[in-house]
Structure formats: C-alpha cells, structure tokens
Structure 1
Amino acid sequence: MENHDSIKKTVKNKYSEIAASAKGKGCCGPITDCCGTNSNIEFTMIGDDYKSVDGYVPEADLGLGCGVPTEFAGIKPGDVVVDLGSGAGNDVFIARNLVGESGMVIGVDMTEAMIEKANQNKSKLGYDNVEFRLGDIENLPVDDSSIDVVISNCVLNLVPDKRKAFSEIYRILKPGAHFCVSDVVIEGEMPEEFRRSAELYAGCVTGSLQLDEYIELIRQTGFGNVEIKKTRRIDLPEELLENYLSEQAREDYKNSVKGIYSITVVASKK
C-alpha cells in the first residue's frame, strides 16, 4: 500500500471524479466506479435503500454508503450532529430532519468538489442549520466536547490513520455523547497483492480493518458501550478479483479471507 499522503490523494481524486459526474454510483456504492475507468462491476450488496427514510434528498444520494447510520444513531431534536465524510449531504439532510429547527448538523469532507455539491443541495433546500466544512477526519475542524452525535457512512475505512480518526471523534463529542458509524470490515487476511491496490483502497475494500481489530481500536480510544447494531456480508464478484489479482493471489484470497462485512456500530464517550 502506498504511503499515507498518497493514499489520501488517491481517495480525494476518486471522490472528486464522482462528485463531478454525480451519476449516483461510486466507490462504496452499487457500482464500483473507483475500481478502474471501465469498470461496471456490481457488488452483490453494500448500500442500503434510503428512499423510504424521512428527510431523504435524492440529489444528495451518490450511492456511496454501506448502511444507514442515522437508523441507530439516537438523534434527538436539538442535537448538534457531525457527519464525517459527508459527500453531497445525504446523511446530513436526514440527520437534519431528526434534529429539527432547534438542532444543527455539520458535514465534514476533505473533497472540495463534494463540499461544493453539498452546498448546492443545501441552497436548494434553504436550510440555515446545516453547515459543510472542508476538513480532514484526522484533524477535524470542530471544537472540543461540542457534539452530541457523530455519524459516518462507509468513510472511516478510507482513513489511513484510523486510530487518529477515532481519537478525533472522541475529542469533539461531549462527555456521555456517542457515535454511530456504518463501515466495512473483514475477517481473515487479505493477500498483500490485493492490499497494495490504491484503487481498491478507494473502493472501500483493502483499507478495511479486521472486525476484532476495529472494535478493539474503538475501546482503546476510550469509548464504552460498544455495540454492533447491524451486520451484512459483502461478496466481491469474481470479475473484480480477476481484474486486480493474479491467479495465485485470487486463490490466496479465497483461502484466507473469511468474509467482508458492512457493520453499523455505536459507542459512547465515557
């Protein structure tokens, strides 16, 4: 795998392309556009259907999630919520429906094109208690102990320094406050050839932690009441494996990777 800065540059470039095309498909969505310029490879399932969720804004849904974190986030009227990797604003606008006029929702994204698209959507909706900030999840532009709920949807697996990301979540949450994130994790070991692919890292696959490692990292950061609310298996299609792995690596993958999963997990700041 490439170094920290190179990984982030790759991810930023890929998501900028998605924001520019706005096709409703993307790295973590139903079509892995991130996995090669001519790829039309379908994941058997990864994202959830938002269409029936109150506050849903179709123009803000680029198909980049792997769950619906607001489903288990316990967001209440008046809460101040931060969405990490907010994209075009999909989860932000749903959270805004939950916090009401008395609350506030802040979306943070490192991609200028996504911030621009989110602000365009915000302008159409006329919301004055929604804000989008350009920033890095490893160094959030948010004050200490100021947030009631942090949410994120298929983004933390893209962050090279996940320990720093969870530390930042801990820093900005109020004492006793909580987060709810949907993310991709694995069980077993990915072949080195697979893990080295920056394209697949941007596709939410090779940057994923082991399930046990992911949960332990949350606990080590200081969070309590850690609970997995939802788990779904993700099956990578054979065509995707053929595009990125040698025959031997594909065999190693099948023998060593027990499963790839979308999980939604909650935890609270002590």
Structure 2
Amino acid sequence: MTEMKNDQIRQGVRDNYKKVALKNIDTNSCCTPSCCTPDENQNISVKEISQKMGYTTEELTSIPNGANMGLGCGNPQAIAVLKEGETVVDLGSGGGFDCFLAAPKVGSNGKVIGVDMTPEMISKARKNAEKPQFNHVEFRLGEIENLPVADQSVDVIMSNCVINLSPNKLRVFEEAYRVLKDGGRLAISDVILTTTLPIDMKQNMELYSGCIAGASPIEELTSYLQEAGFKNIQITPKDESKEFIKEWAPEHRVEEYIVSAIIQAEK
C-alpha cells in the first residue's frame, strides 16, 4: 500500500470510530455495534457480546456506564496477569473499557494509559474516568504506530481487536517494543486471517474498519513480532470466536476467513 492509501485507511477507521463514539449506546439494548462495525440490524446487546468474548458479569458491572461499547474480539485481561504497581498501555483504548478493568489490578501505585487516534473516543474515555478510583488512568490522543509514551516505561501492552486496523503492523510492534521495559510483555486479543480473502472483500473499506479486511495470517504476525525484537511469541487461535464473528457481517460469511486469537510475546 502507498502512504496515501495508508492515510485513507486511517481516516476511514477514524471516521468509523467517531460515529461509534458519538452514538449513545445502552449496554443492555439490542441493535448495537459488534467489534468495529456499527450494525443496526443486530438483535444482540453489548452485554451479551462482551460475555461471548469472555468477560464476566462482575467485570461488566464494575466499569463506568458507556465505557463498554461491544468493541473487541476477546478479553486481553484474561491473559495479561496484571500485578500491583505495573504500568499498562492499551492500544486503541476506545471508551476505556479494558483500561477501567485493568485499573484495580495494578492498584493506585500502578498506572493505566489508553491511547486512541480518535478525538471523540478520547473525550468519551476521559469523561468515563471522572471518578476517584480511576485517578491513575489517563487517555492520550495518538496513533499506535507513533505512541505518545516514553521509552522503556511500560510493563504490559494490551490491545483488543485494534492492531488489525493498522496499515503498518510492523511499526506498531516496533513501537510496542520501544516503550516496553526489559521483560515487558504483550497481552493482545485480535483477529487473524485463516485463509485468503477475496479481492473485493480485501478492498472493502467497511470491512477494513470492521476488523476483517486488515487481518493478517499467523505467519505474517509472527514475522513482524520477530523483526521488532520480541521473543517467546505465542499466537493461539480461538475457534469458538466464530460464534460471534459470524454476526459481524453475515452477508460475507466472514467467519470462514478470520478467527480471534490471543497474541503473547516478551521483550
């Protein structure tokens, strides 16, 4: 892809998330967005979507109203094994959902930083964070390819169905490596490609911003992680995720091409 194409992709994704951020989403209502694509025809609630991704009822009731917008493809919290005092960065933090779940795990001596390139998402997350228990949570406007985070300052990097949206995934992992401390780790949930996408689907901007057309196969992601410098790389497909992925764009039968996976690696 040319740089112009890359910028077109970023703008398309940003426009999509702006619409989601400005949408007033009721956690218990139907007709809500799933993953990255607002779909007015779904008869499923945000809460139901999140439970399918592995979040517990306790987790879903512990966060500010509006933080959970049903955007994601898994639960990075389940693999992050966060510890008291750690600093965590969430790539593509949206309304702050995973950041708010990470906050009590790292405690007041820890820090949670959400990074998102959509101003409307940052505003929404900051409003959600206006509670005393989230004083150690902050949200920064920026691209995940150019993180507004200092070198070697982070213990854990999380992300939930966002890296697939980047047109420069190698750069994302290079930036992750830069900001992680020695021994730091990745705890990522994302979609991976299981077979070749038809050209018309690959060039469909709606499917790109819907976490489908930008997915990469395991071999490609592994190569990016290795080139960035990571070790102990593990990418684990979750076949059960097809149960909610098939609802993203039913007319394209996307569950035949992508699946959610857990991506782990260490610096």
**TM-score, normalization by structure 2:** 0.85
Q: Which moved further from structure 2: 221-230 or 155-164?
A: 221-230
Deviation of the 1:264 alpha carbon: 1.3
Letter of the 1:15 partner, please give it. Answer: Y
Corresponding residue for residue 192 of structure 2: 185
Q: Equivalent residue of 1:53, what SS?
A: helix
Deviation of the 1:177 alpha carbon: 0.8
Relative distance call for 1:78 and 1:237 in structure 2 (3 A) is closer
Give runs of aligned pairs for residues 39-118 of structure 1, distance below 5 A. 39-40=41-42, 47-53=53-59, 56-57=62-63, 59=65, 60-118=67-125
Corresponding residue for residue 38 of structure 2: 33
Q: Work out the CA distance in 1 between the residues paired with 2:227 and 2:107.
A: 34
C-alpha deviations, 1:49-78, integer Å up to 9, x for none?
343338831521110011110111121100
C-alpha deviations, 1:173-219, integer Å up to 9, x for none?
00111111000001110000010000110100010001222223212
Letter of the 1:100 partner, please give it. Answer: G
Relative distance call for 1:5 and 1:264 in structure 2 (3 A) is same
Corresponding residue for residue 208 of structure 2: 201
Deviation of the 1:237 alpha carbon: 4.6
Letter of the 2:134 partner, please give it. Answer: Y
Q: Work out the CA distance in 1 between the residues paired with 2:225 and 2:163.
A: 12
Letter of the 1:10 partner, please give it. Answer: G
Instruction: State which of 231, 255, 266 in structure 1 corresponds to 2:264.
Output: 266
Corresponding residue for residue 130 of structure 2: 123
Name segments (4+ residues, structure 1) moved above 3 Å: 38-42, 44-50, 235-242
Query: Could you say what the CA RMSD is over the residues aligned between the two structures, in angstroms?
Result: 2.7
Percentage identity across paired residues of the two chains: 39
**TM-score, normalization by structure 1:** 0.84
Relative distance call for 1:159 and 1:139 in structure 2 (3 A) is same
C-alpha deviations, 1:130-169, integer Å up to 9, x for none?
1100000010000011101000001000111000001000
Instruction: State which of 234, 240, 248 in structure 1 corresponds to 2:242.
Output: 234
Q: Which moved further from structure 2: 163-172 or 117-126?
A: 117-126
Deviation of the 1:220 alpha carbon: 2.2
Instruction: State which of 155, 162, 166 in structure 2 corresponds to 1:155.
Output: 162
Q: Work out the CA distance in 1 between the residues paired with 2:257 and 2:43.
A: 19
Letter of the 1:266 partner, please give it. Answer: Q
Q: Work out the CA distance in 2 between the residues paired with 1:170 and 1:261.
A: 25
Q: Residue 13 in 1 paired to residue 15 in 2?
A: yes
In structure 2, runs of 5+ residues without a counterpart are: none
Q: Work out the CA distance in 2 between the residues paired with 1:239 and 1:12.
A: 19
Q: Work out the CA distance in 2 between the residues paired with 1:119 and 1:238.
A: 30
